[in-house]
Amino acid sequence: MNYQDKVKEAFEILEDAKIQVFTALINVAMVSEFKEIDELFDEGEFFAFRSSDFDHANDPNIQSLQYVVKAMEIAKEEMIAWNGLNNLNLQGNE
Protein backbone atom coordinates (compact mmCIF):
# COMPACT_ATOMS: atom_id res chain seq x y z
CA MET A 1 0.00 0.00 0.00
CA ASN A 2 1.20 3.47 -0.80
CA TYR A 3 0.82 6.63 1.27
CA GLN A 4 -2.50 7.70 -0.24
CA ASP A 5 -3.98 4.23 0.29
CA LYS A 6 -2.99 4.41 3.97
CA VAL A 7 -4.50 7.90 4.28
CA LYS A 8 -7.76 6.64 2.74
CA GLU A 9 -7.75 3.66 5.09
CA ALA A 10 -7.15 5.95 8.08
CA PHE A 11 -10.04 8.17 6.96
CA GLU A 12 -12.37 5.18 6.73
CA ILE A 13 -11.31 3.99 10.20
CA LEU A 14 -11.91 7.49 11.55
CA GLU A 15 -15.41 7.52 10.05
CA ASP A 16 -16.22 4.10 11.54
CA ALA A 17 -14.91 5.17 14.95
CA LYS A 18 -16.93 8.40 14.83
CA ILE A 19 -20.09 6.41 14.12
CA GLN A 20 -19.38 4.08 17.04
CA VAL A 21 -18.68 6.93 19.47
CA PHE A 22 -21.75 8.87 18.31
CA THR A 23 -23.90 5.76 18.74
CA ALA A 24 -22.51 5.36 22.27
CA LEU A 25 -23.30 9.02 22.96
CA ILE A 26 -26.91 8.55 21.82
CA ASN A 27 -27.28 5.38 23.88
CA VAL A 28 -25.99 7.09 27.03
CA ALA A 29 -28.21 10.11 26.43
CA MET A 30 -31.34 8.03 25.83
CA VAL A 31 -31.11 6.31 29.22
CA SER A 32 -30.25 9.46 31.12
CA GLU A 33 -30.72 13.10 30.24
CA PHE A 34 -32.73 12.43 27.08
CA LYS A 35 -34.90 9.64 28.53
CA GLU A 36 -38.11 11.64 28.02
CA ILE A 37 -37.31 12.00 24.32
CA ASP A 38 -36.55 8.28 24.06
CA GLU A 39 -39.97 7.48 25.52
CA LEU A 40 -41.66 9.37 22.66
CA PHE A 41 -40.42 6.79 20.13
CA ASP A 42 -41.79 3.30 19.58
CA GLU A 43 -39.49 0.28 19.44
CA GLY A 44 -37.80 0.19 16.03
CA GLU A 45 -38.77 3.77 15.16
CA PHE A 46 -35.95 5.73 13.55
CA PHE A 47 -34.78 9.24 14.32
CA ALA A 48 -31.61 10.79 12.92
CA PHE A 49 -29.76 12.80 15.55
CA ARG A 50 -27.09 15.39 14.78
CA SER A 51 -24.17 15.96 17.09
CA SER A 52 -25.47 19.49 17.68
CA ASP A 53 -28.58 17.97 19.30
CA PHE A 54 -26.39 17.26 22.32
CA ASP A 55 -24.57 20.60 22.54
CA HIS A 56 -26.41 21.69 25.68
CA ALA A 57 -26.36 18.39 27.54
CA ASN A 58 -25.47 18.64 31.22
CA ASP A 59 -24.31 15.05 31.73
CA PRO A 60 -20.48 15.07 31.85
CA ASN A 61 -20.34 11.69 30.08
CA ILE A 62 -22.41 13.02 27.20
CA GLN A 63 -20.21 16.13 27.10
CA SER A 64 -17.06 13.98 26.94
CA LEU A 65 -18.41 11.82 24.15
CA GLN A 66 -19.62 14.94 22.31
CA TYR A 67 -16.12 16.40 22.54
CA VAL A 68 -14.66 13.27 20.94
CA VAL A 69 -17.28 13.27 18.16
CA LYS A 70 -16.59 16.93 17.35
CA ALA A 71 -12.82 16.32 17.33
CA MET A 72 -13.34 13.45 14.88
CA GLU A 73 -15.55 15.63 12.67
CA ILE A 74 -12.83 18.29 12.60
CA ALA A 75 -10.20 15.68 11.75
CA LYS A 76 -12.35 14.40 8.87
CA GLU A 77 -12.90 17.92 7.52
CA GLU A 78 -9.17 18.61 7.67
CA MET A 79 -8.30 15.34 5.91
CA ILE A 80 -10.79 16.18 3.16
CA ALA A 81 -9.30 19.67 2.83
CA TRP A 82 -5.74 18.30 2.65
CA ASN A 83 -6.45 15.34 0.38
CA GLY A 84 -9.62 16.20 -1.50
CA LEU A 85 -12.74 14.08 -1.83
CA ASN A 86 -11.51 12.40 -4.99
CA ASN A 87 -8.23 11.29 -3.41
CA LEU A 88 -10.15 9.74 -0.54
CA ASN A 89 -12.51 8.14 -3.10
CA LEU A 90 -15.52 9.69 -1.40
CA GLN A 91 -17.03 11.56 -4.36
CA GLY A 92 -19.33 13.48 -2.05
CA ASN A 93 -20.49 10.43 -0.06
CA GLU A 94 -19.15 12.08 3.08
* pLDDT tens track for 15-36: 999 999 999 999 999 999 999 8
Q: In the chain, where are the structural domains located?
A: 3-83
Predicted TM-score (pTM) of the model is 0.84
Consecutive H or E run containing 63:
helix 60-83
- Taking alpha carbons only, the member of 51, 54, 44 closest to residue 77 is 51
Least confident stretch, 3-12, 47-56, 57-66, 85-94: 85-94
Residue percentage of the chain with pLDDT more than 70: 94
DSSP at 89: T
Please state, for a pLDDT cut of 90, what percent of the chain lies above it.
71
